Structure 1
Amino acid sequence: MNERDVCDIFCTDEKKVSRLREEVEITRGLASIFKVLADDTRIKIIYALSKEELCVCDVAGIIGSTVAAASHHLRLLKSMGLAKHRRQGKMVFYSLKDDCIQKIIATALNHNKAHKDN
């Protein structure tokens, strides 16, 4: 740690600390979503699903995996509330549950691009 990265003295703004200590509790549970997103394969799947609905076999082809592996990732995304599926005959199609996760990915891509450009 660089000496310039911390305060030279220790003091706190008790009102601010007390208020924010309570407010930050709203983030409880978010880490599990980010843990799911912290996998390159699942990010690719989410990105692909943000473009269009896909069957499990198509997802496997896109990520270069077996159908079983793709199905595993898709089930995890579904269990976290990020994806949904529908059955059509013998086919199962996946899509994003809503546009929230799509916005997170788009924001991250914009950040990544801006960071690379600097």
Structure 2
Amino acid sequence: MSKNTDICSCNVIHQDVVDKVAENMPSEELLDRVAVFFKVFSDKTRLKILSLLLQEEMCVCDIAASLEMTHSSISHQLRVLRQSRVVKNRKDGKVVYYSLDDDHVKNILAQGLSHHQH
């Protein structure tokens, strides 16, 4: 019979540890924003878009051509990514270019890809 090592069999509460972590617990509002942020990464199409943008700033037309998808489906996903502050855009004449919002997003995406490549 195997023993389940994930279950603690003691009844001792380490109050000093409980108090310490309670002081540093993020607010509910912050946790909600972070949960939404990570949920954005749970969609394969959005991950494909982010993987492209990890390499190069691109417009909707180029992203759509790269992924063989419609402009409207790419625009919809970019809107979700922009609202979650994962991508940003800039306008150059009539063309709107998209890129990852900042180095935090680049690092999170790169680390996620690296973590699962092995």
TM-score range, shorter chain: 0.7 to 0.9
Q: Who is 2:24 aligned against?
A: 23
Alpha-carbon distance between aligned partners in 1 of 2:12 and 2:63, rounded to the nearest angstrom: 53
Aligned residues: percent identity? Answer: 36
Aligned amino acid, residue 112 of structure 2: A
Q: Who is 1:54 aligned against?
A: 58
Q: Who is 2:113 aligned against?
A: 109
1:41 Cα offset (Å): 0.8
TM-score (normalizing by structure 2): 0.86
Q: Who is 2:5 aligned against?
A: 4
Worse-matched range after superposition: 75-84 or 25-34: 25-34
- Greater percentage in helix: 1
1:103 Cα offset (Å): 0.5
How many positions carry a matched residue from both structures?
A: 113
TM-score (normalizing by structure 1): 0.86
Q: Is the counterpart of residue 83 in structure 1 residue 84 in structure 2?
A: no
Give SS of 2:45's match. helix
Cα-to-partner distance string for 1:44-86 (whole Å, 9 max, x where unaligned): 1111111111000111122222101100111111111111111
Is 1:60–1:70's contact at 8 Å kept on the other side of the alignment?
A: yes
Q: Which runs of 5+ in 2 are unaligned?
A: none
Alpha-carbon distance between aligned partners in 2 of 1:22 and 1:33, rounded to the nearest angstrom: 24
Alpha-carbon distance between aligned partners in 1 of 2:25 and 2:116, rounded to the nearest angstrom: 26
Q: Which runs of 5+ in 1 are unaligned?
A: none
Q: Who is 1:93 aligned against?
A: 97
Q: Who is 1:43 aligned against?
A: 47
Give SS of 2:5's match. helix
What value does the CA root-mean-square deviation take over the aligned residues?
1.6
Q: Is the counterpart of residue 34 in structure 1 residue 38 in structure 2?
A: yes
